[in-house]
Amino acid sequence: MTVDIVDRIWGGFLGGAVGDALGEPVEFLPREERLQRWGTAGVQEFVHPDGMGRFTDDTQMALFTAEALILHAQTGEPLLVALHKAYLRWLATQKFPSRIPPDAYLHEGFLLDESVLHQRMGPGRTCLRALMEATDLGMPVVNDSKGCGGLMRVAPIGFWAAMQSNDWDIRRTFTVASQAAQLTHGHPCGYLSAGFFAALTREITLGIPLNDAVTETLLFLEKLGETGSSIRQLILRAQELAGNDVPWQQAIQELGAGWVAEEILAIAVYLGLTAPDFRSGIIQAANHPGDADSVGAVAGHLLGALNGRKAPLSVYISKLGGHSVVSFIASSLIEIS
């Protein structure tokens, strides 16, 4: 494993948490209130009165994804079962019950002791409901949700696949991440967007230029035919808008409000292709007029992996609540590979 890959994984983990925390106070606020609070420039830094940033369920669940990968490597337990158990432990941090007996999952893992992960930061209803109602570990949910709750948490699968690239090709990465998302999101746009993003994250972590990585991953998505066509068309549109230098404000009008997975995926791809640097991209993401924290988290994973440790993360990290947990998970995932 090269130093470049390690740097990109660090950047991806921390970038996702930073983008999530920047967007957290912005989400759900109407445009008029945003303008009143922060002017046309929008949020540029963490804006809570104490100056600290707080990541949401997006980062929390991504960290539990990484925990599952680590435990899978240590124990050999089937990965989907390990992932499902990890998400049930996240559910426990949010103080919600599950039909699956706690003895089946609570005694495992190491993130339950982290108090920052017990904060309830707007957990998604679909994730909560699917996990609360699950009766069999590793089984896909039956619903029609294409929200972003599956997408937002799978970047660690892409990082893992990059570290294990001989055994984890695009197909395996895409499949596993799709199955991981399918534990809570049953609409193809919900889980295939997650598969696409993890595969894309794998490619850029390996150093493949983003436009090439998008094109390569689209070829794989094309093989799914009509099932993946709506995601494919939106990603192609994001590439087209970026290639034609269409400004951010116009692009987001075409790519959607970001309340569903495929829209956030396309917005992140557009930002990855157009942002001149990490800070510019993450500020645009966090000020998105829709699901700002999830756009910030997903774009942050992508932009952080693209820029690695050279991304100007230090200006945010010292004021990011729970940054030590993010760093610990990143280093643990790297070390166990």
Average pLDDT over residues 160-182: 97
Token couple for 156: 């660690």
CATH of the domain at 288: 1.10.4080.10
Split into its structural domains, the chain has a count of 1
Contact 155, 132 (CB under 8 A): no
pLDDT exceeds 90 at position 257: no
CA torsion, ordered 194, 149, 332, 101, to nearest 10 deg: -120
Q: Provide the whole-model pTM.
A: 0.97
Q: Which residue's entry shows tokens 């499949």?
A: 175
Distances, alpha carbon 118 to alpha carbons 90, 114, 123, 166, 217, in Å: 8, 7, 11, 36, 35
d(CA 155, CA 162): 11
Say which amino acid occupies 164: Q
pLDDT in tens, 54-94: 999 999 999 999 999 999 999 999 999 999 999 999 999 99
Contact 251, 224 (CB under 8 A): no
- Domain interval for residue 312: 3-336
Quote the percentage of the chain above a pLDDT of 90. Answer: 85
Q: Tell how far CA 273 is from the center of its chain.
A: 17
Compute φ and ψ for 240, nearest 5 degrees. Answer: -65, -45
pLDDT exceeds 80 at position 311: no
* Predicted pLDDT at 220: 85
Residue 337: count other Cβ atoms within 10 Å of its Cβ: 17
pLDDT exceeds 70 at position 139: yes
Q: Which residue's entry shows tokens 């409901």?
A: 129
Quote the percentage of the chain above a pLDDT of 70. Answer: 98
pLDDT in tens, 16-62: 999 999 999 988 788 888 888 888 889 999 999 999 999 999 999 99
pLDDT band at residue 227 using 50, 70 and 90 as cut-offs: confident
Q: What is the 3-state secondary structure (H, E, C) of 57-98?
A: HHHHHHHHHHHHHHHHHHHCCCHHHHHHHHHHHHHHHCCCCC
| Cα torsion 84, 89, 93, 94: sign | positive
pLDDT exceeds 70 at position 1: no
